[in-house]
Structure formats: structure tokens, C-alpha cells
């Protein structure tokens, strides 16, 4: 392994072997002491990286050239390790060793922040996997092999011939139980025999990723159990909380406008301030007096997010469904339960959060008879065009939207829709949540009061920081942490 010879630091590295490869599976947690400031910086920078991974993943086809180039730029810009063969003698900037150390430590810090709920875990695993896939695929074959050896990922290699004398491969194939290669099995991209999948070496990344996911999933579950001990550390708790909320910016589960929206306003609001997906759902509900489960969840939670109370929601859905084929009795028996469930008043009593754009775009695609999902993602482009025309959007604007849709930039398309329907040049925010759309729209229409002051999150952090300052002996590190925490928002507000 090549390392830069001379360093500014004179530390001898018995841990050299720890970071002997630029890529790792994060099997061992870091054992050293670090300062609070390094703790924060590392965490924040990795989070930036993961958010970039997420955004690129919706804007571009994963692993395409554009995707890889942009991701690579972000990785090197943030001083995370990448291609080992490019290690140069650098007089400025962190060394390769330092980058690998940061990679290692930052991953484990984020585990602390993202292990607590199912949603957070899923998001974290998804981004880490995409990041890993990119970095692994980027490696030269010899480094790939080295990686496999270092991590004891020995798969049986065989040579195999198809039946009927057709040759599969003269190159070595890797043999794994089919359960470890489901993505390849599902799409018939791999030869199966006797319950084993035979994979060409170049597809080995799929197997490694499966492994990666399983390990990380288990590790997060374990981490969650030891979390209370970590959270009791007053220095870390505010930061960790802020980190986990930062992944959506807000999750809109804390409504400040509870009860401020009346049912009579909804029709008008749907045309003025709802994103297209919710406008579509509202219209479908009014037209057919019914929505299927996917639609009820997506729309129902959105309404909760804009401030509807449980009583209002029950009244809203009930009056609409009764106009359809559902009688009052049936509604109370069948549907009321699920609405209360949404508000956390039944069953597991989880207070469900409204769906983010990511969730709407990526999960539960609509089928025949469904109106949920993201119209920019799930509607036939012709139908989308007609709908936009019926809303009297300008032809040039519609073309811009359709172009963005073609390029798979669904959230940008929705942003464009926002700009066109509100008659402004620039939305001024990066859309990632339907409730954010609503809030921004309302803000705009009510004269553009500075909404930043109303945002709950940073206040909470600042309150905690203040409390910390008061109750804990002032230490140089703590004060520094407080100051930097104030700046944390700026990392996340512009994307």
C-alpha cells in the first residue's frame, strides 16, 4: 500500500495497518480520543457527503458518468479518501491517512445519530450503501481483490459451463447461496444451479453490498441499545439530535399551525399552496369521494402536517367518504381507525410523520386506481402535460418542467411548478418535502415574513446549548462547540 512518505505530523503509526486500504467495512469502532470540535466537524462533513449522495441519487441515474463525476468531486472536496493509486505527495491538506481516519470516525459518529428510528436507519443504510458502491466500483481490480482478502470475504471461485455445452465463462466465477444475490436473481442476471448463484467477478460488488447492508443493519440495531448511555452525555446529545433532524431539514411532525387551517379553506389552498401531488390527491378525493390506502396515507399525513387536528381530519374524511359509497357506520368502523392511527392514537401509537419527497418518489409506486406518488415521477408525461395545461401554466414553463422530468429531476420539476404557480423567478429554497412546499407557499402569499425565526429545530439546539453553558463547568471545548453549533444550520439550509 502506498502512503505518502513525508508528513507534517511526526506521529508514528502503529495503526497504519488499521487504515491500510482506502475502503473499509467499518467493522471495528475507533478507539482513540478526539476533541469535540473534531467530533462535530467530522460528523457534519460526512453528513454533507451523504446528503449529496442522496440528492445525486434522485437527480441522476446511479453509477452513470455524471453521477460518478459529481460524487467524486464531493468526496475529494470534503477530504474523504478515494482512489488509493492517486495518493500524491501533498504539501497542503490532510494526508491519506488522515482522510481514512476521518472516514472511519465520521461513519461511527453518524451511526449514533441515525440508529434511533426505523426511518433514520433506513436512510443512513441507503446512503452509506450508495457511497460504498461508488467507491468500490471505482477501485482498480487489484485493490478490489485486496479489499476482499483484507475483509475475509472469500467466496468460492469456480469455473462453470452451461448445460448443453454453452460456456458461461472462462474467467473465475464466484459461487454464493442464491439468498445472497437476490438482486441478480430477481432480474435473471445470474446463472443458478442447485441453489447457488454463479457471479462473474465484475458483479461481485452486488454481493459485497449485500454483506455491507446486513452488517450495518445489525450494527445499528446494537448501537441503538447502547444509545441511552451516549445520549446522557450533555455535550453530545444536542449535536446528535441536530444531526438526525438535519437529514430532512425538518420532518414537519411538529406543527405550529395546529388548528389554524379550517376545512373550508382546503379547496382553495389545494390550488394555491399544495404541491402537485397533494392537489391531485385532493381532486381525486373530491371527485370519487374515496381514496385508496396509499393515497389516504400520503394525503392524510400531509394534512396533519399543515395543521389539521384529529377532529378536523375525521370530519374531513368522513364527510367526503359519506358522499360516496361509504355509509357513516362503515366509515366509523373501517376508516376512522386508520385516521386515528395516523395521529398516533391507536396501535403502536407512533406519531407518523408526513412523507418527504424522497419517500413519495421512491417507495410504493401507484398502480391502477391509485392517485398517490409523485406526478412528476409516476404520471405519464402526456397526461402530466395536459394537467399542467389545464392549470393554465405557460407553455414555456411546461416545457421546462417536462425537460426536468425527462432528466429525472422530479423535485426540481416540482420547484419549477412552484415558481410558475406563484409567479416568481426563483423559489429560494430546495424542495424536499410537500409540507415544506406548503409552508413556503403560505409564507410567500402572506407577505414573506422571515420564517427562519419560526423554525423549531435551531431554537431547540440553542436552548440546549444555553442550558449546557449554564449547567456545565465552562470548558474551552464546550464554548467552542456552542459557537460552532450556531453555525451548523448554515451547513444545511443551502443545498
Partner 1 sequence: MSTSDYDPACLPDLLPLYYRRLFPFSQYYRWLSYGGVTKNYFLNREFSFTLKDDIYVRYQSFSTQNELEKEMQKMNPYKIDIGAVYSHRPSQHNTVKSGTFQALEKELVFDIDMTDYDDVRSCCSAADICSKCWTLMTIAIRILDRALRDDFGFQHLLWVYSGRRGVHCWVCDEAARKLSVAARSAVAEYLSLVKGGEETVKKVVLSDPIHPFISQSLSVVERYFPQYALVGQDLLSSKESVDKVLSLLPEDILCHSLHDLLNLYQTEKNPLKRWDKLKAVVHHKRATSKKGGQYFEKEIMLQYCYPRLDVNVSKGVNHLLKSPFSVHPKTGRISVPIDLRNLDKFDPFEVPTISLICEELDKPRAGEEEEDDTKDKENETDPGERRKIRDYKRTSLAKYIKMFDQFLDAMARSRKGEMLKKSDLQKEF
From the annotation, which residues make up the binding site? Answer: 277, 357, 374, 414
Taking CB under 8 A as the criterion, the residue among 156, 162, 234, 315 binding partner 1 is 162
Binding status of residue 347 toward partner 1 by CB under 8 A:
yes
Shortest Å, Cβ 163 to partner 1: 7
Which residue lies nearer to partner 1 by CB, 213 or 283? 213
- Strand ranges (E), 9-99: none
Shortest Å, Cβ 426 to partner 1: 41
| Residue 100: C-alpha distances to residues 18, 53, 74, 215, 217 (Å) | 9, 18, 15, 20, 22
Rg (CA), the chain: 26
Binding status of residue 171 toward partner 1 by CB under 8 A:
no
Which residue lies nearer to partner 1 by CB, 141 or 194? 194
Binding status of residue 214 toward partner 1 by CB under 8 A:
no
Binding status of residue 221 toward partner 1 by CB under 8 A:
no
Instruction: Round to whole Å and give the CA distance between 336 and 315.
Output: 10
Take residue 66 and report the three cell numbers written for it: 455524471
Instruction: Round to whole Å and give the CA distance between 471 and 237.
Output: 14
Shortest Å, Cβ 196 to partner 1: 7
Take residue 348 and report the three cell numbers written for it: 403502536
Which stretch, 64-72, 186-194, 257-265, 453-461, contacts partner 1 (CB under 8 A)? 186-194
Binding status of residue 164 toward partner 1 by CB under 8 A:
yes
The site that binds partner 1 (CB under 8 A) totals a number of residues, namely 21
Taking CB under 8 A as the criterion, the residue among 10, 31, 166, 167 binding partner 1 is 166
Which stretch, 87-95, 175-183, 256-264, 419-427, contacts partner 1 (CB under 8 A)? 175-183
Shortest Å, Cβ 371 to partner 1: 18
* Angle at which helices 118-138 and 204-231 cross, to 10°: 140
Which stretch, 18-26, 162-170, 271-279, 406-414, contacts partner 1 (CB under 8 A)? 162-170
Q: Is 443 exposed, middle or buried (0-12, 13-18, 19+ CB in 10 A)?
A: middle
Binding status of residue 348 toward partner 1 by CB under 8 A:
yes
Binding status of residue 337 toward partner 1 by CB under 8 A:
no
Binding status of residue 179 toward partner 1 by CB under 8 A:
yes
Q: Is 44 exposed, middle or buried (0-12, 13-18, 19+ CB in 10 A)?
A: buried
Instruction: Round to whole Å and give the CA distance between 247 and 325.
Output: 41
Taking CB under 8 A as the criterion, the residue among 82, 147, 155, 196 binding partner 1 is 196
For cell 386515528, the residue is: 340
Shortest Å, Cβ 107 to partner 1: 25
Contacts of 454 (CB under 8 A, 6+ apart): 256
Residue 134: closest CA among 220, 50, 199, 44: 50
Chain centroid to CA 169: how far? Answer: 38
Binding status of residue 486 toward partner 1 by CB under 8 A:
no
Q: Is 418 exposed, middle or buried (0-12, 13-18, 19+ CB in 10 A)?
A: buried
Shortest Å, Cβ 188 to partner 1: 5
Instruction: Round to whole Å and give the CA distance between 3 and 101.
Output: 14
User: Tell me, what DSSP letter sits at residue 285?
Assistant: H
Take residue 150 and report the three cell numbers written for it: 483484507
Taking CB under 8 A as the criterion, the residue among 6, 88, 154, 163 binding partner 1 is 163
Binding status of residue 191 toward partner 1 by CB under 8 A:
yes
Which residue lies nearer to partner 1 by CB, 196 or 418? 196
First to last CA, the chain: 36
Binding status of residue 117 toward partner 1 by CB under 8 A:
no
Taking CB under 8 A as the criterion, the residue among 192, 271, 334, 472 binding partner 1 is 192
Binding status of residue 369 toward partner 1 by CB under 8 A:
no
Binding status of residue 491 toward partner 1 by CB under 8 A:
no
Instruction: Round to whole Å and give the CA distance between 98 and 103.
Output: 9
| Residue 12: C-alpha distances to residues 32, 105, 245 (Å) | 15, 19, 39
Taking CB under 8 A as the criterion, the residue among 27, 93, 194, 447 binding partner 1 is 194
Shortest Å, Cβ 83 to partner 1: 32
Q: Which residues bind partner 1 (CB under 8 A)?
A: 162-164, 166, 178-179, 182-183, 185-188, 191-196, 347-348, 368
Amino acid at each position: 500500500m502506498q502512503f505518502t512518505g513525508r508528513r507534517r505530523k511526526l506521529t508514528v503509526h502503529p495503526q497504519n495497518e488499521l487504515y491500510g486500504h482506502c475502503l473499509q467495512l467499518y467493522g471495528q469502532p475507533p478507539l482513540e480520543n478526539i476533541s469535540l470540535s473534531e467530533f462535530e466537524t467530522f460528523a457534519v462533513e460526512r453528513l454533507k457527503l451523504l446528503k449529496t449522495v442522496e440528492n445525486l441519487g434522485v437527480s441522476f441515474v446511479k453509477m452513470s458518468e455524471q453521477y460518478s463525476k459529481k460524487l467524486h468531486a464531493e468526496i475529494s472536496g470534503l477530504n474523504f479518501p478515494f482512489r488509493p493509486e492517486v495518493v500524491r505527495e501533498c504539501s497542503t491538506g490532510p494526508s491519506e491517512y488522515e482522510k481514512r481516519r476521518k472516514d472511519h470516525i465520521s461513519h461511527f459518529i453518524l451511526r449514533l445519530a441515525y440508529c434511533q428510528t426505523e426511518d433514520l436507519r433506513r436512510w443512513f443504510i441507503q446512503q452509506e450503501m450508495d457511497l460504498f458502491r461508488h467507491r468500490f466500483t471505482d477501485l482498480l481490480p487489484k485493490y478490489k481483490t485486496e479489499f476482499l482478502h483484507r475483509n475475509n470475504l472469500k467466496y468460492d471461485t469456480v469455473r462453470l459451463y452451461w448445460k448443453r455445452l454453452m460456456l458461461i465463462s472462462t474467467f473465475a466465477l464466484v459461487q454464493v447461496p442464491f439468498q445472497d444475490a437476490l438482486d441478480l436473481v430477481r432480474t435473471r442476471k445470474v446463472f443458478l444451479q442447485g441453489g447457488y448463484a454463479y457471479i462473474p467477478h465484475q458483479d461481485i460488488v452486488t454481493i459485497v453490498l449485500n454483506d455491507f447492508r446486513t452488517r450495518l443493519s445489525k450494527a445499528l440495531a446494537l448501537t441503538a441499545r447502547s444509545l441511552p448511555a451516549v445520549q446522557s452525555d450533555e455535550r453530545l446529545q444536542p449535536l446528535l439530535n441536530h444531526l438526525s433532524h438535519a437529514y430532512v431539514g425538518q420532518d414537519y411532525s411538529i406543527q405550529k399551525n395546529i388548528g389554524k387551517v379550517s376545512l373550508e379553506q382546503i379547496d382553495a389552498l389545494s390550488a394555491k399552496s399544495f404541491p402537485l401531488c397533494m392537489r391531485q390527491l385532493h381532486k381525486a378525493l373530491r371527485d370519487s369521494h374515496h381514496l385508496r390506502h396509499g393515497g389516504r396515507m400520503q394525503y392524510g399525513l400531509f394534512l396533519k402536517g399543515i395543521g389539521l387536528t384529529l377532529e378536523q381530519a375525521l370530519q374531513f374524511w368522513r364527510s367526503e367518504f359519506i358522499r360516496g359509497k361509504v355509509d357513516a357506520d362503515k366509515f366509523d368502523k373501517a376508516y376512522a381507525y386508520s385516521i386515528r392511527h395516523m395521529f398516533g392514537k391507536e396501535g403502536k401509537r407512533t406519531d407518523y410523520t408526513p412523507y418527504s419527497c424522497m419517500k413519495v418518489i421512491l417507495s410504493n409506486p401507484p398502480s391502477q386506481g391509485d392517485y398517490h406518488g409523485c406526478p412528476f415521477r409516476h404520471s405519464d408525461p402526456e397526461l402530466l402535460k395536459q394537467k399542467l395545461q389545464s392549470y393554465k401554466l405557460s407553455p414555456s414553463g411546461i416545457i421546462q418542467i417536462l425537460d426536468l422530468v425527462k432528466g429525472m429531476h422530479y423535485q426540481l420539476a416540482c420547484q419549477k411548478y412552484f415558481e410558475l404557480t406563484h409567479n416568481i423567478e426563483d423559489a429560494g429554497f430546495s424542495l424536499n418535502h410537500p409540507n415544506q412546499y406548503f409552508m413556503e407557499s403560505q409564507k410567500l402569499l402572506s407577505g414573506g415574513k422571515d420564517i427562519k425565526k419560526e423554525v423549531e429545530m435551531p431554537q431547540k439546539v440553542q436552548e440546549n446549548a444555553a442550558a449546557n453553558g449554564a449547567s456545565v463547568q465552562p470548558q474551552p471545548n464546550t464554548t467552542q462547540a456552542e459557537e460552532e453549533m450556531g453555525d451548523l444550520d448554515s451547513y444545511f439550509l443551502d443545498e
